[in-house]
Structure 1
Amino acid sequence: MTRHLLVPMDDSATARAALEHALTVFPDDEVTVVHAVDDLEAGYAGRPPVTVSGDGDETEPEFFADVRSIADRRGDTIETAVIEGTSADAILEYAEDAGIDQIVMGSEGRSGVSRMLLGSVAEAVTRRSSIPVTIVPSSTA
């Protein structure tokens, strides 16, 4: 039975490692890569908003080209989507609406003050998810 995996993606090596993990460990499953756009969070974290490319309503992060090349190199097909909202909330809402069976995501492994101030999207998703979540740590990136 084919399952449907969700891989949240930002422009990081850890997120790419999570995609590689999903494609390697679950080769027969359907994979959707999503990027949550939350301009408030990007500004608060001291990062600029993600640059998007495309025409009209068809916009996506420029790094999705790299994401597709990872899948293409392996001979895999993935779906991509840009979702709006606070990262953890948007990821969980998408997972529920799309009938996702499992979430595979990277974690930077923040600790101390940076974790308290910025929080951890991976931790929030893991704690609140009703489906399995696989966390790929930054040490594998």
Structure 2
Amino acid sequence: MIGIIDDDKIFQFTLGRVINHNKQAERIITFSDGERAIQYLTDNKAINENIPDIIFLDVNMPIMDGWQFMEEYANIKTEIKKKVNIFMWSSSYNPIDIERASKICEISGYNIKPIKLEDVKRFFEKFETLL
């Protein structure tokens, strides 16, 4: 299962379509902000099949941004019995954001938007063992 946490509906749609087209996941769940995603993870922490293997996380979102999501995730991750790989996908080229992401051990990578089909394919080729 793959989770997409991003307020950009076009990004959600595009990434979801590519994932489905390439049969990279049996199920995709989407959230428009980090708060809803944290609530979902909290509600489902004891049900491994409801926890995503991979989460694509945006940095800039309303209500709860990607950094706030990571702070909350750090508080609940020990209750989740499954390894979740979190990848930030952001339009921010800001070196401070990239450096900050690299210092958070729960973040497996930082990628720059906009995404291209080739980028997603390369991502899944590189990380296909995560699914």
TM > 0.5 between the two? Answer: no
Larger RCO: Structure 1 or Structure 2 (Cα < 8 Å, ≥ 6 residues apart)?
Answer: 1
The structure with the larger Rg is 1
Greater fraction strand? 1
